[in-house]
Amino acid sequence: MQANKFCEFGPGDSATWPPCENHPHDPRTPEAEDEDCIADVRDFLDIAESAAMNGDLGKARLSLEDLVGAEQ
């Protein structure tokens, strides 16, 4: 909708929308990044668990150190 001399904004214009409240059906809601982080943590834990089950505790420890950071 274009602005004209009678009405600058209409009901469908983003300028008349209420603020974004992060509703899942609102197209302005940002994508969730937490899901990616959780998937990464699960991958590290799966590797560590598999290594520990196979008796390779060194590989399990390295996977956990990669997860939390070796310098900590």
In this predicted model, what pLDDT tens digit does every residue of 12-23 receive, in sequence order? 666 777 787 877
CB atoms within 10 A of CB 64: 16
In this predicted model, what pLDDT tens digit does every residue of 45-62 receive, in sequence order? 999 999 999 999 999 998
Does residue 67 contact residue 44 with C-beta atoms inside 8 Å?
A: yes
Does residue 65 contact residue 47 with C-beta atoms inside 8 Å?
A: no
DSSP H/E element including 53: helix 34-53
**pLDDT for the residue 20:** 78
Q: Tokens 């956990």 belong to which residue?
A: 64
**pLDDT for the residue 7:** 58
Share of the chain above pLDDT 70, in %: 69
